[in-house]
Chains A and B, each alone.
Chain A
Amino acid sequence: MSVQRKKRKRRELFALGNEAVAEGALLAGCSFYAGYPITPSTEIMEVMANRLPLIEDGVFIQMEDEIASMGATIGASLAGRKAMTATSGPGFALMQEHIGYACMVEAPLVVVNVMRGGPSTGLPTSPAQADVQMARWGTHGDHPIIVLSASNVQECLEMTVTAFNFAEKYRTPVILLLDEVTAHTREKITVPDPDEVEILSRVEPTVPPEWFKPYADTARGVPAMAPIGSGYRTHVTGLTHDVMGYPTQRPDEVKDAMLRLFRKIDQYYGDIQMADEYMLDDAEVAVVAYGSVARSAHLAVEQARERGAKAGLLTLKTLFPFPRPAVERLTHRCHTVVVPEMNMGQMSREVKRVNNGRTKVRTINRVDGQIITPSEILKAIL
């Protein structure tokens, strides 16, 4: 956040998590939304339908399904727009092929998945956190991806801005995972003045078109991106491609292309892996949580402290790449790590992998469409 001297124009809103996502997207410069209605994410689409037509060049389009929504979002991204779509589990499943395409062609865009109970149609109006591993591994093929989450309405706004910034900075699709509770909680938020917020945009080429290599390696591993119609007539393909963007099967070129895709994310783990620490300095029991469960955990930690237990909380804001250093520190210092989540243990797998048998990992799992209460977590801490 850069400091500005002029009078700031902050706005206060009483908003749903979903509405805050839309506010965050507009703040980040999103000018294209394509989507398909699905509970419990629809309010994001509704706000965008109202707002984008009133913004210069803002485009809103309702597509025929989620596959088409992702296709249009990628198309708009390639044409130079900051683009977004939002959905829930069943729609997210349909989007997976195109998420892989976006990874392969390095199209910056944001996909919001408001998680509901599953599998299949499941519990459309109840919360879950069961799409965590799908967000990481849903599309076929080896690929890196950035998955973020938010635990309250203010964070919905902030993490949406972060999602756009990461997408633009690293030329990658970014997935923002919310759960139904966060998305449908209404609370007071502050929408910052646009001048107060750091907004990043993709780097465009400066060389003449005949010199431009659209998938060339750079120090950052992120090539410059020329929007369609800007005079750089490039080829974009989901086939594995060489630095010119043309299909290749040459093992050396394939290897270079694949390893660069990983490296451009890997070498910036420090920047991408975000987690909030609360009372962890002297903690003997640490709770690792994300989404709405982190709010229950926050209260549970406070109550545990009142009863004299040295408890602390690590709230994961980045789910993937998994914030290994932050979690690893806890496994060295604490005798127990508690992982509450609304699934059968999707993030606790990651915690256990990092823990490597070092300390005790206690899981709390709920798959009945109900939130995990502070008292459940408190019981596990004490």
Chain B
Amino acid sequence: MADVTQLIHDYLRHNKKFPHVFCAGCGHGIVLGSLIRSVHALGLPKDDVVLVAGIGCSGRMAVYVDFNTVHTTHGRALTFATGIKMANPKLKVICVMGDGDALSIGGNHLIHAARRNIGVTALILNNHIYGMTGGQCSSATPQGDISMTTPFGSLEKAFDIADMCKAAGASYVARGTSFHAIQLDRLISTAIMHPGFSVVEVFSPCPTQYGRKNKFRNAVDMYKWLKSNTVKVETLKDPDQKPADGRIPIGVFRDVEEPGLEERYFELQRKLMGQNR
């Protein structure tokens, strides 16, 4: 445990004024820990890692870590990430977004990043709610759930992030949770090294804004729920079929080798410039 703590400290910014903004029981810190362990295990130099974040609770993650960090605008993190990756394809660009960020205001950019297969890793921290603004319904809030803007229950269906990204053309799509931390390390490491666009959705509990309003007694309850209501996708008979018992599949849903947009672009450029000589 001490080793892990030391490792995390090596990647935090010591000249940044702490404490952080996350509530007690929030899953985001676990995801950040997992991200740091993944970068460390892959042996990536800090200088080569770019963490691009949107706006919301997850957006605040960027400032704490000692990478190149960019805290962008609400929903548009992927557009900045696209510019950075195309400008310097050597960089490992990781985009951290929340569910409101990536799916509601930024839904268009998400499907287009997937379609382009740009070599960026999208970490979508899905807490099913707008946490920072005080607990309003997002496009990932499950139907029927209570929020500040759906006091009588949400009427709209939630997006299935994995299904949507697969349909839009992402070449790596996975889902993990803040409870399954060891699996999460593996998913994030694979995603970072994947050429092309990779998406890791992480179920990350929000006890303060979502749990309290939806019959979770405390944060521990939410993690227990993640344990008992998820199922490893590889154990399913038909991975394309949703489990009949309503459990949520976690694991890797798609992993195909396709060169990223930046690879194809610079390959084309080399070819064109060769012809012109």
Residues of A at the B interface (CB closer than 8 Å) are 32, 34, 53-54, 56, 58-59, 61, 63-65, 67-81, 83, 97-98, 101, 227-231, 233-239, 244, 246-247
Contact = CB atoms under 8 A, between A and B. Distances in A.
B73 A79 contact: no
A236 B71 contact: yes
21 contacts: A34-B83, A53-B268, A56-B273, A61-B83, A67-B76, A68-B79, A68-B112, A72-B79, A76-B83, A78-B83, A79-B83, A227-B88, A228-B50, A228-B68, A229-B48, A230-B47, A231-B47, A235-B62, A237-B63, A244-B16, A246-B16
Contacts of B87: 32, 59, 75-76, 79-81, 83
A247 B68 CA distance: 16
Interface of B: 13, 15-17, 46-48, 50, 52, 62-63, 66-73, 76, 78-88, 90-91, 108-109, 112, 265, 268-269, 272-273, 276
B1 to A, nearest CB: 27
A54 B71 contact: no
Nearest to A72: B83
B167 to A, nearest CB: 16
A72 B17 contact: no
A117 B72 CA distance: 32
A233 B52 CA distance: 13
Contacts of A101: 72-73
Nearest to A61: B86
B56 to A, nearest CB: 13
A83 B73 contact: no
A239 B71 contact: yes
Given A75-B82, A229-B91, A236 B69 contact: yes
Contacts of B273: 54, 56
User: Which of A83, A97, A227, A246 is most buried by chain B, counting CB atoms within 10 A of its CB?
Assistant: A246
A75 B69 contact: no
Nearest to A97: B73
B69 A235 contact: yes
A240 to B, nearest CB: 12
Contacts of A234: 68-69
A73 B90 CA distance: 18
B79 A63 contact: yes
Contacts of A238: 71-73
A59 B79 contact: no
A233 B70 CA distance: 10
Given A53-B269, A68-B112, A235-B62, A228 B84 contact: yes
Nearest to A68: B79
A246 B76 contact: no
Contact of B82 (A72, A78, A83, A236): A72
A235 B62 CA distance: 8
Contacts of A98: 73, 76
B84 A68 contact: no
Contacts of B72: 71, 101, 238
B109 A58 contact: no
A243 B170 CA distance: 39
Nearest to B62: A235
